[in-house]
Amino acid sequence: MTPEDAIVVTADRIAALLGAGADPQTPLRGAEWTVGEAAAHLALAGRLMADIGAGEERPYGDGTPGGLAAANSVSLAAFAERDPAVLGAEIADRARAFVAAAAGRSAREAVLTPMGPMDVATLSSYLLTHLLGHGYDIAVALGGRHMVERDVVAFTLPFLRLAMPRVVNANAVSHDACYAVRTGRERFAVTFADGVPAVTDTPPRRPDCTIAIEPVAFLLLALGRWTAPTVMARAKVVVWGRRPWLGPRFPALFTAP
């Protein structure tokens, strides 16, 4: 499976959930949106991503979690469609439009996105991550099987690694530590110097804390769908090193994108 395959498969699974008699007024667990609003957001985001993938400039928010939330609120207020089946079809169609548009461009070509500049390959990772996060919410709300599976998590890492320095929050002020992160076969490091994180393939020095976490748990934690206590309670993570107590605190250094 390629990242592009994963985008289409994920979008189709979301569309199937929405087309199976879903009630648009069903509330999402732990969120202010309903299923209909989340589906509308995915449809709108699909249009946005397909346009960006095709080379159009589409300013949206200011790149911060708060700015994106404000832009989402404005776009939803201006878009009245809430029929789950209609929106599901739109989500699937826009996913295919994005894949087709991106296929005609170099994977390393730079584009400007709601999360700042990145290349086309990372934009694909961004779209997949976005679909998986909101698709998970919709699946949980409707009592269906979610689409966050181990074999697609690796495709989200290019975006998540890029996003980490952009979503660091006030909890990281003056923080200094080196983390080695292992999720499945993937390895990377996040090193904070006076509150500023740098993400690299390997640790620049001896890690203070190594975090080994199951891939699905990693993505759901990164997206704010699970908490650190939830991950630990389900035995999905092991931490060790000179400062192992930093492990449970690591997710709180970021605001989920």
Q: Tell me the per-residue pLDDT of 46-83, one tens digit each, with 9 for 90 and over.
A: 999 999 999 998 888 787 888 888 989 999 999 999 99
pLDDT given at position 206: 98
- As beta bridge partners, residue 240 has 210
3-class secondary structure per residue, 104-160: CCCCCCEEEECCEEEEHHHHHHHHHHHHHHHHHHHHHHHCCCCCCCHHHHHHHHHHH
CA-based torsion, 169, 175, 178, 183: positive or negative: negative
Give this prediction's pTM. Answer: 0.95
The pLDDT of 117-137, averaged and rounded, is 97
- pLDDT tens readout for residues 195-237: 999 999 999 999 999 999 999 999 999 999 999 999 988 989 9
Rounded Cα distance between 21 and 210, Å, is 45
In this predicted structure, what is the pLDDT of residue 45? 96
Domains and their CATH numbers in the chain: 3-162 (1.20.120.450), 167-253 (3.30.1050.10)
